[in-house]
Amino acid sequence: MESRADSQHRQLEDVAVMGAMITSLLNLDHILAAMMEMAIRSVRGEVGSIHLIEEGELRTKISWGVDDEVLELICHETGVDIAGWTLSTGKARIHNDLDAVHGDGGRVRSLISVPIAHQGEPIGVLIIINKENGEAFNAEDSVKLESLVRFAAVAIANAALMRDKLRQQKLQQELELASTIQKALLPNPSARFDGAVIEAVYQPAGQVGGDYFDVIPLSESEFVIIVGDVSNKGVPAALQMAAVRSAFRLEASGNRELAEIIDRLNSFICEQVMLTDNMFVSLVYARFDLKSKTCTYVNAGHIPPVQLHRDNEEICFLKTGGVILGQFPDFKYSSDSVNLAAGDRILFYTDGLNESTSPSGKLLGRERIHQLAVEHRNCRLTEFPHKLLKAAEQHRGEDNQEGRDDTTILVVEVK
């Protein structure tokens, strides 16, 4: 009895050392290799394997000297393979009367399988095959392995948390890089031409967004304004918008009619950019000629820009154009022009402004945007878009992230 007690004491010390070793590791492959080696040594087994749940399936993660095909042939009395039975029941199982053949001709004489669980949830199975010298596995072996897997389960969970954390850090770094690139693609929010000044604000809902604005100089008195919105958020929308931006920049310096430009670009976007049914672009493309005091535009399914007059509350909307881009490749767009007078402002914005949602679910709405635009039509241009943005933020509330979308506001003032 004294000898047996000493043996059990040494075994407990071994398990404690094993637990300390395993829980100090953070790499899953290292944990499983250490776990396999310790498990085989503690019960004097010959070979073994460890299986973990991944994406809802029990998969072999490490196998020393045994094929999956052999394990699939070893079934519980219910007909379920031994690994699946152990996982589903959460019970250890000993078989000492087996006679299965390895792929290399070796034989499986005995087997012990132990469930691996963390915080009451099954996460895998440990299997050890054939005890040295042909001996049988016993209840003591089961206790040893169950003690070992309790430590191992904690280490496996820690490794999974570390892996997820590293993935999140990598994703965060990629998002920060994408945000830097996207901001570099956007023009300076303030621009001046002979006879006009431009001011813009851009606020993505996340680190990157699907809104887009561009100011493309054609001459000292001519320029193109583009304001658009991809029907999504985040990285997919940002990637789509980057492709749209490149295509529009290539076409902007040409001499084609605006409607023809949009026709060509819509066909290109349908065929090469928007490759899913649920993605599209709404966009306004406007060419300003300050010598002739005109703005020629095409509105492709976007919120109509608003023309404001300094001396009165009259407003008009730039509606002419057609449907959204990216869904109807054969659609023919139309253009229109408005005359510009000194002091006029033309307000372009995306739906992140008017669709700002209060905690109670109420939209800010276009009508309120138009009222605010008229109220502030004579304030300094540098302040004008920020006043509209502040109104949206106040309507939404500081902590209401659900009511926030990518927001772009751009204003052209005729001098």
What are the tens digits of pLDDT across the range 192-206?
998 999 999 998 877
What is the per-residue pLDDT for 14?
60
What's the confidence (pLDDT) of residue 349? 97
Residue 334 banded pLDDT, cuts 50, 70, 90: very high
Chain Cα centroid distance, residue 252: 32
- Residue 261 — pLDDT band, cuts 50, 70, 90? very high
Question: For tokens 């309120």, what's the residue?
Answer: 368
What was the pLDDT predicted at 164?
A: 76
In tens, the pLDDT along 44-95 reads 999 999 999 988 888 888 888 887 777 776 766 666 788 888 998 999 989 8
Domains of the chain: 2-160 (3.30.450.40), 174-414 (3.60.40.10)
Pick from 243-247, 367-371, 402-406 the range whose average pLDDT is largest.
367-371
pLDDT band at 109 (very low <50, low <70, confident <90, very high): confident
Is the pLDDT assigned to residue 238 strictly greater than 80?
no
The reported pLDDT for the residue numbered 285 is 96
The stretch 290-318 carries a mean pLDDT of 93
The whole-number pLDDT of residue 105 equals 55
| Average pLDDT over all residues of the chain | 84
Contacts of 180 (CB under 8 A, 6+ apart): none
- Asked if the model's pLDDT at residue 125 lies above 60, the reply is yes
Q: How far, in Å, CA of 199 to CA of 34, rounded?
A: 62
